[in-house]
Amino acid sequence: MAFNSDQLVIMDSIIARYPRKRSAIMPLLHYVQSVYGYVTADGIEIIAEKLDLATAEVTAVSTFYTQYKPEPVGEYHVGVCTNTLCAVMGGDAIFAAVKEHLGIENDGVTDDGKISIEHIECNAACDYAPVVMVNWEFYDNQTVASVIDLIDGARGGNPPAPTRGPKTLRTWKENSAVLAGLSDGLANEGVAAGDPSLLGLRISKSAGGNS
């Protein structure tokens, strides 16, 4: 899986943002995923070559963070939070129902390559539990029925909009490009922080806080 000249130029532009080249490891790994859908061996080699690193150093980063995938995932990668609060609020039931509905297990991919699922330890959105993420976009206050509808919509090419963030759910590869630092022009779309997240700030301000 070779990278073409345009892709290599983009990789160089990502590296140029950083005063130390090695700081570009993570965005470059996301960029590789935006091209191939996962972190390929060729991708690791070219990153190592461009950053003057050993391939083992790049591999160490790619295997440490769970956002980097060593095998292809679905066009829509579904992460279900089953940490304590989400689990109590229905996350465990959602995860079990999704696996049964799709006929796959954790880290599995449907035969058509459209959907993959992952057990997520925490989506850092406890104020909206239970939370599901698809391609790292938030779907808040979910139920078994709403997640099944979400998955079926995505599989049919018509996913519902995320609860927060852009008004259109982008594919795994498209969002990987955004995580690499390539703008999709959607940064100002939708709600960024909802009322539950801002409640503490409002209380602080009403009590005379300076935050």
CA-based end-to-end distance of the chain: 50
Token code pair at residue 34? 């935006």
Residue 7 has pLDDT above 60, yes or no: yes
Judging by beta carbons within 10 Å of its beta carbon (0-12, 13-18, 19+), is residue 82 exposed, middle or buried?
buried
pLDDT digits (tens, 9 = 90+) for 50-92: 999 999 999 999 999 999 999 999 999 999 999 999 999 999 9
In terms of domains, do 81 and 162 share one? yes
Within 13 Å, how many C-alpha atoms sit on residue 194's CB side?
14
Instruction: Give residue 32's pLDDT.
Output: 98
Least confident of 51-55, 80-84, 178-182, 202-206: 202-206
Mean pLDDT over 102-107 rounds to 97
Convert 83-92 to b/e letters by CB count within 10 Å (16 or more is b).
Answer: bebbbebbbb
Greatest distance between any 2 Cα atoms in the chain:
59
Instruction: Give residue 23's pLDDT.
Output: 97
Instruction: Give residue 209's pLDDT.
Output: 62
Mean pLDDT over 170-179 rounds to 97
In terms of domains, do 98 and 39 share one? no
Contact predicate 38/107, CB 8 Å: no
In-domain check, residue 107 = yes
In terms of domains, do 143 and 105 share one? yes
Token code pair at residue 107? 């880290």
In-domain check, residue 48 = yes
What is the span of the domain harbouring residue 9?
5-64
Contact predicate 201/178, CB 8 Å: no
Q: Is 52 left (phi over 0), alpha (psi -120 to 50) or beta?
A: left
In terms of domains, do 162 and 100 share one? yes
pTM of the model: 0.91
